[in-house]
Structures are given as structure tokens and as C-alpha cells.
Structure 1
């Protein structure tokens, strides 16, 4: 795919959704960090249901630390892998209190040093909480990038590397959300909804559907 096509795709996605954001509910960088950590192999809807009960009770690193692992589990037990996630969220909360004065660090290195926080989670926090032009490649972005031929790669790291290279600066902060939402609702895994897609004529997927 050439850069003229890519720019037109991004322009259309921007026109359709000028101010995209995550579907995870949060009001602070710490709430976002917790929500993203809980969202691994879970739906945003499921995470939001759990945090709707958790955050009114504990939504700061100190409050989560005080809640304890078992206390935290009670609020997130509806989420997959909740035992391991409770351990990680409790540990990272204590580290943020002890090493970062209770504030989520605006540093990739510091974020990735936290338990349960990998590159993808760090990218989401840096992008959504702090406005960095990072691109967290999840299954949706990986699929859309390869299927449309927008930024092809054999794994998420290669796709991230390609996206950072080909996406113009003016689109970089929001492209993460546009591609996720496009993959979640239009370019879905089993059968993409090409017939209702605003970039169908630009996409280079050969087996288009009429849906």
C-alpha cells in the first residue's frame, strides 16, 4: 500500500471520529493503568463492570495496596485470570507508592518494570493518559494492519515498527484508537463488514464481503 492511500484512510477515519479514545472507563492515569492491566484476555465491557465496583472503593495506588490481594480479588473475580491479575495490580500499586510517590510514571522503562505491564500496556498508558504518539498493537490492530495491507508484519512488534514508520505525525496520537475500533466493529475477525466500511475502496483485502 502506498502512502497516499494510507493518508486517505487515516483522513476518513479521523473525519468519522475526530476524538477517539479507549472504551475502558477511567478518570486518572492510575485507573487507566489498572483497567488496561485487567483487560488482557478480557473484554472492555467485562473490565468496566468490575472497575465500576472497584474504583469507588479503591482507585489510588495506596487504596489498592491497603485493600490487599484477597480484597482486590473480590472485585475482579468476574475477569479471566483474576488471581494473577490481582497479584500484579497489588504489587504495582505498592511499587508506585514506594518508588514513584503515588503517581503513575510517564516513562516507558518505569512502566514496563511494573508487574504485569508489558510493552502493549505501557504504550496504551503513554498514549491515552499522557498523549504520547505510541501505538499499542493488539489483535484488532494486527488484523486490520495486515488484512488491509496498511502495515504488514508477521508479529505485533513488526506491525508496530511499520506503523510508526508509515503513519504521518499528525495522525500518530489517535491511530491506535481508530484501528482498534475499526477492527472491533467493522473489520471483524471472522467476516469483515466490507459493505459498510468507509475505507473499502482503499483497502487491499482481496476477499471483500458485501455485508
Structure 2
């Protein structure tokens, strides 16, 4: 895909959604960190249902750490992999209290040192909580980037590096959300909704699918 096509795709996505936001519910960098950690292999809807009950009770590292693993499990047991996630969140809370005065560090290396936090989660927190021009490649972004030919790669690291290279600075903070939402609601995995796609004429996917198909 050429530079002009990419530019136009991003302009259209911006025109349609000038201020995109995550669909995870949060009101602080710490709440976002917990929500994103819980969202691995789970839907945002399922995470929100759990955190809507958890955060009114405990929404600081100190408060969640005080719940303990078993206490936290009672709030997140409807989420996949909740046992390991509870252990990681409690360990991360302990580190945040001990090393960072209960604050989420605005630092990639520090974030990635926390249990349960990898590059993708760190990218989401840096982007959404702190406004960094980072791009977290989840399954939706990976699919959209490859299917449209916007930024092709065999794995998430390749796609991330390609996106960082080809996305102009003016779009960098928001492109993460645009691609996630586009993949979640339009360019879906099994049967993309090409007939209702805003960027259909710019997309280079050869096997477009329409309702009559």
C-alpha cells in the first residue's frame, strides 16, 4: 500500500471518530493497567462487568493488594485465566506500592517489569493513560493491518514496527484505537463487513465480502 492510500485511510477514520477511546472502563492509570491486564484473552465487555464491581471497592494498588489473591478472585472469576491474572495483579500491586509509591510509572521498562505486563499492555497504558505515540498490536490491529495491506507482518512485532514507520505523527496517538474498533466492528475475523466499510475502496483485500455473497 502506498503512502497516499495510508494517509487517506487515516483521514477517513479520523473524520468518522475524531476522539477515539478505549472501550475499557477506567478513571486512572492504575485502573487502566488492571483492566488491560485482565483483558488478555477476554473481551472488554467481560472485563468491564468485573471491574465495575471491583473498582468501587478497591481501585488503588494498596486497596487491591489488601484484598489478596483470593479476595481479588471473587471479583474477576468470570474472566478467563482469572487465577493467574489474580496472582499477577496482586504481585504487581505489591511492586507498585513498594517501588513506585503506589503510582503507575510512565516508563516502558518499569511497566514491562511488572508481573502480567508485556509490551502490548505497556503500550496501551503509555498510549491511553499518558498519551504516548505507541501502538499496541492486538488481534484486531494485526488482522486489519495485514488484511488491508496497510502494514503487513508475520507477527505482532513486525506489524508494530511497520506501523511505527508508516503512520504519520499526526495520527500516531489515535491509530491504535481506530484499528481496534475497525477490527472489532467492521473488519471482523470470519466475515468482514466490506459493504459497510468506510475504507473499502482503499483497502487492498482481494476477497471482499458483501451481504449478497
Name the CA distance, whole Å, in 2 between partners of 1:65 and 1:187: 39
The 3-state SS of whatever aligns with 2:198 is coil
What are the equivalent positions in structure 2 for 1:32-181 lying under 5 Å apart? 32-181=32-181
Cα offset, 1:10, TM superposition: 0.2
What are the equivalent positions in structure 2 for 1:165-204 lying under 5 Å apart? 165-204=165-204
Name the CA distance, whole Å, in 2 between partners of 1:189 and 1:70: 36
Cα offset, 1:62, TM superposition: 0.3
How big is each residue's C-alpha offset from its partner over 1:50-106, in whole Å with a ceiling of 9 and x where there is no partner? 001100000000001111110000000000000000000000001000000110000
Structure 2 segments unaligned to the other structure (5+ residues) = none
Aligned-pair Cα RMSD in Å = 0.4
Cα offset, 1:210, TM superposition: 1.6
Question: Which residue number corresponds to residue 31 of structure 2?
Answer: 31
Cα offset, 1:209, TM superposition: 1.3
Name the CA distance, whole Å, in 2 between partners of 1:82 and 1:42: 10
Question: Which residue number corresponds to residue 205 of structure 1?
Answer: 205
Residue 19 of structure 2 is aligned to residue 11 of structure 1: no
Name the CA distance, whole Å, in 1 between partners of 2:205 and 2:42: 28
Name the CA distance, whole Å, in 2 between partners of 1:121 and 1:47: 15
Please give the TM-score of this superposition, normalised by the length of structure 2. 0.99
Structure 1 segments unaligned to the other structure (5+ residues) = none
Name the CA distance, whole Å, in 2 between partners of 1:183 and 1:80: 21
Name the CA distance, whole Å, in 1 between partners of 2:69 and 2:199: 46
Name the CA distance, whole Å, in 2 between partners of 1:82 and 1:183: 25
Count of aligned pairs between the two proteins: 211
How big is each residue's C-alpha offset from its partner over 1:91-134, in whole Å with a ceiling of 9 and x where there is no partner? 00010000001100000000000000000000000000000000
The 3-state SS of whatever aligns with 2:158 is helix
How big is each residue's C-alpha offset from its partner over 1:14-72, in whole Å with a ceiling of 9 and x where there is no partner? 00000001100000000000000000000000000000110000000000111111000
Name the CA distance, whole Å, in 2 between partners of 1:188 and 1:67: 38
Name the CA distance, whole Å, in 1 between partners of 2:75 and 2:95: 21
Name the CA distance, whole Å, in 2 between partners of 1:21 and 1:165: 23
